[in-house]
Structure 1
């Protein structure tokens, strides 16, 4: 088995080497737990950034070559905001979801990701309040011992310094990062910005090149917001007549409704409909324990994009409560951002989901999940105000 894997990350400004190191480290752990051999190394195709991997399991051997389809530069560009600009993003993003009614519809599906979306709003407002109170107190004290003419600029300086201090602490709090993330999704009412639209076309060309080469399977993996980008990439291929039968899609921890429920996300809704109408192996894996994703929500059905005659992904649960030991769950408790990446990591009580065997093992995605039904608890309620067609 020879497989070409294209990984599309979510909203992440960090260079793609982090995904290679994550695969190496977590893959070694999973192989030791599950009793197979996994080796990583270079690949034959030097285009872009990636790595190679090989698996030996039950006397079967397979190899895979990975490539990260990068849009970290677009992410980094969108995050280059001043403190004042970030608070402007807060106001615009809140209005995009509240004014359109999307927020209330999203809450009907899963409260976890909505709370995660509200988190940066609440934290940033609390930071501004704390900085404002500190500034007022400093200004009042100066006014008491001197004059209010001096107290006013002191209050303003302390307020600004307070906001800057909070900004420096964001590596632990993630409020600014998440604010930029949701603002990027909500800009233009959910319409793809031109820079990302161009990148989607570039990704489609890379996948087509691989599908035309001598690979047994071309597997596209989209994580978080990378999941709906993957949908748009493959739907475009389908409309162009370039969707090869060897292409499969694995979407992980998707946040599709955060984009598809916005009023101008017409392209994404069309892409969900068109891809669901095609004969493609599409497996969607989420977990109710992942507060940053819409666990067990069928992205096509909840977005009201089901084609005539039905269609859409196979909805499976990563079942964190069963596939992670009590000790591991305790270790990850409260680390909701880390849990959102668990799909790419080792499970110490593995079930049917094994990221490393899926991407580098001896069976195709279709073979691995042949005959499987949706996991219990699948949510397919058409909750979107807008739909396609």
Structure 2
């Protein structure tokens, strides 16, 4: 067992019985293409997963989009061959907010990046980020350093233009300063525009806007995001109420968040529990799953008092089972982060019930060939949380979300997805099954 594994002493008691029907609310991370990326990723990877482990291909229903464009849904039929549950999947979308960030003036985004980065450096937060995961510390500083390089390059080009058109060299044209400086800056900025495709390939604007969002949220400057959290909570409660009115028997309600969406899932879970005192008290357990979370980016900021209060409420609630999956191989999460230890909660005599912390153990579930191919591709490794395993392992996204085990029991006593089908063929070789 890795040192980061943690089981809280007050963990909620088990609810008996297998899962026959599960309702999932999935929240993607800070991604401008959320409404297209995750459906395609799910369909592709669940098909690979079934093929690799010799299971029947899941029957996935067509995708639907809510009238307001904020919820994309589909269903996965139960598969009796291995005891799979029927799963209804709602993706809670906030990519329109991300697209709006990307459409913001680049000068404004750059200015916000500089302010946010300098603040966490001066206040010492950057040191804490590096202590938790030096790789993520590098990811945070990466757009700031690249912005400085771009700024120096622009200044250098502007200086050359001024020298050749102004009074810099003997053969210069002798143009006045008021003409050469603006022209030089335009040429310098044009150089940045010319390498736009390269900047996108190295995720410069993605990581810049992502960090700015987290910093703004920590400062309480994202009312649009706060409103979306309330809208998500409204949808979850309305969906569960509709299922109850239909007489549907739901065994597990699961809220899943990946990357920045893990923080969103925490905030939505806290709101839902606060508004519905019956949730998690009946035969259906309420489960929260956070994958590759960047929670400390906001939770450690001094002004993020509401988020810390919500985390504290979850850490002492018996109505939710919260599992936080981490991965040391992932650059963009914080392996070993435990909110009970890092956020200095004053829980009093209330026992800690959450979160269960587990390593996804990417080294065990990815083949050596795949691992060596993706180990220096941070985004690809980050998305392994949502992709098919090459090998059986305690962490398996599709066994967790489609299988018959409740989340609490899967984490404490994991079993492979084909355990209910002893005559299923052996897993295919990951290289030939890809």
| Residue pairs, 1:177-326, within 5 angstroms | 177-187=206-216, 189-191=218-220, 193-212=222-241, 213=243, 214=248, 215-240=250-275, 241-245=277-281, 246-279=285-318, 280-305=320-345, 307=347, 308-326=350-368
Q: Which residue of 1 aligns with 2:41?
A: 22
For the pair 1:85 / 2:108, whether they are aligned, the reply is: yes
Q: Alpha-carbon deviations, 1:297-342, whole Å to 9, x = none? A: 2244322237332232111111122221121012213210121111
Q: 1:204 to 1:365 in 2, by over 3 A?
A: same
Q: Quote how far apart the aligned CAs of 1:107 are.
A: 1.8
Could you give the per-residue CA deviations for residues 199-248 of structure 1, whole angstroms, max 9, x where no partner exists? 11121122223434222211110111111111111112222325334221
Q: Distance in 2 between matches of 1:192 and 1:28?
A: 41
> CA 1:25–1:86 in structure 2 vs 1: closer, same or farther (change >3 Å)?
same
Distance 1:242 1:197, change over 3 A: farther
Q: Which runs of 5+ in 2 are unaligned?
A: 1-19, 415-434
Q: CA deviation at 1:271?
A: 0.4
**What secondary structure sits across from 1:35 in the alignment?**
coil
| Aligned residue number for residue 386 of structure 1 | none
The CA distance in 2 between the partners of 1:231 and 1:350, in whole Å, is 28
Distance in structure 2 (CA, Å) of the matches to 1:97 and 1:242: 40
Residues 28, 91 of structure 2: 8 Å contact kept: yes
Residues 95-127 of structure 1, C-alpha deviations (whole Å, 9 max, x = no match): 331233221222221111111111111111112
TM-score scaled by length of structure 2? 0.80
Secondary structure of the corresponding residue to residue 39 of structure 1? coil
Instruction: State the alpha-carbon separation in 1 of the partners of residues 76 and 218 from structure 2.
Output: 40
Match of 2:374 in 1: 332
SS at match of 1:220: strand
Find the aligned partners of 2:265 and 2:218 in 1 and give their Cα distance.
20
CA separation of 1:188 and 1:353: change in aligned 2, threshold 3 A: closer
* Cα RMSD, aligned residues only: 2.2
Which protein is bigger by CA-based radius of gyration?
A: 2
How many equivalent pairs are there? 372
Q: Relative to 1, partners in 2 of residues 1:54 and 1:331: Cα closer, same or farther, differing over 3 Å? A: farther
Q: Determine the structure 2 residue equivalent to 1:384.
A: none
For 2:222 and 2:194, the matched residues in 1 are separated by 32
Instruction: Specify the alignment match of 1:381 in structure 2.
Output: none
Deviates more, 1:190-199 or 1:348-357: 190-199
Residues 20-69 of structure 1, C-alpha deviation per residue, up to 9 Å, x if partnerless?
Answer: 11011111111111222232432698643122223537542422111111
Q: Secondary structure at the match of 1:51?
A: strand
